[in-house]
Amino acid sequence: MSPDTKSYVLPASSGAAARPHVMGILNVTPDSFSDGGRHDDAEAALAHARLMIAEGADIIDIGAESTRPGSAPVSQEQEWERLQRIIEPVAALGVPVSIDTYKAETARLACAAGAVIINDVWGLQKDPAMPEIAAETGAHVIMMHNRLEAEPAADIMADMDRWFERSMDLADRAGIPREKQILDPGFGFGKTMDQNFLVLNRLHEFAKHGLPILAGASRKRMIGAVLNVETDERLFGSLAVHLIAMQKGADIVRAHDVRAHADAARILAAARAERVL
């Protein structure tokens, strides 16, 4: 692991005067739904990482496979080919790096190169090797709720609780400490528009699992469906959703537009503390 890499320390409980952390999105893919192809060159990726850090990013989340609906899967070898020249130099910038992957071998290589968080959109349940590999790396793990397809009649909150319990059990059995486990409700993944907003309104209920919560709705279709705007015009909607999420208990928000979210998190922290300095 790069000697310049920071370990990750979670923010204090959102119930206190905490400042939620902002995870800046760095996609090195040609086909991501919002910024595909913009940062797939190593120099462009590094420049964007520097910009997000300057704007207040607490974490840089690097992904090399689009998870938008209808996107084509990539092999582990292709995924790592896109990542291998980027992770170490970004980690050397001094901000914790997260690797957005559900593939255990990619996670292992990324953590060896400096990543300290594994962001698994299948909650450790897709690749059977992921729990053990994640435990061996010592990284934090973000375990997202996911479904193959939306089911309007499903009790989505109960479904999510069952999913999280399975993910937590896999993590526990592998030896990943509870203080390194994080839950993500997975906005936009296998949920109807109504279910997405129901989950947002009831996000605080997942506090019963005793783990930090990450919310990632940046520029997603749930925002476009309400505002009828294209992806690049969804900043204000993204900020509104994430502010609600932070007030409902989210400890981390994953965002494309870092400065706006970092400013909002600081204002929220000031309001919780009832003081500015």
What are 234-266's pLDDT values in tens digits? Answer: 999 999 999 999 999 999 999 999 999 999 999
178, two tokens: 């509870």
Task: Say which residue, 14 or 270, is predicted with more confidence.
Answer: 270
Question: For 233, which DSSP code?
Answer: G
**pLDDT at 276 exceeding the cut of 70:** yes
- Alpha carbon distances (Å) from 242 to 7, 133, 185, 218: 25, 31, 13, 8
Q: Which of 254, 259, 266, 272 is catalytic?
A: 254
CB-CB neighbours of 94 under 10 Å: 10
> Rounded mean pLDDT of 96-104?
98
> Rounded mean pLDDT of 134-153?
97
Q: Furthest-apart CA pair in the chain: how many Å?
A: 50
170, two tokens: 């896999």
- Which pLDDT score, from 0 to 100, does residue 33 have? 46
What are 170-228's pLDDT values in tens digits? Answer: 999 999 999 999 999 999 999 999 999 999 999 999 999 999 999 999 999 999 999 99
- Whether the Cβ atoms of residue 101 and residue 82 lie closer than 8 Å to each other: no
**pLDDT at 14 exceeding the cut of 60:** no
Q: Is 160 exposed, middle or buried (0-12, 13-18, 19+ CB in 10 A)?
A: buried
- Which pLDDT score, from 0 to 100, does residue 15 have? 47
d(CA 252, CA 258): 12
**pLDDT at 121 exceeding the cut of 90:** yes
- Which pLDDT score, from 0 to 100, does residue 270 have? 93
Q: Which of 191, 219, 220, 234 is catalytic?
A: 220
What are 24-56's pLDDT values in tens digits? Answer: 999 998 754 455 445 568 899 999 999 999 999
**pLDDT at 138 exceeding the cut of 50:** yes
187, two tokens: 């906005």
**pLDDT at 88 exceeding the cut of 70:** yes
pTM of this prediction exceeds 0.75: yes
Domains of the chain and any CATH numbers: 21-273 (3.20.20.20)
d(CA 182, CA 193): 24
CA dihedral 160, 164, 166, 171 (to 10 degrees): 160
**pLDDT at 127 exceeding the cut of 90:** yes
| Catalytic annotation present for 220 | yes
96, two tokens: 């914790």
d(CA 254, CA 12): 17
| Catalytic annotation present for 208 | no
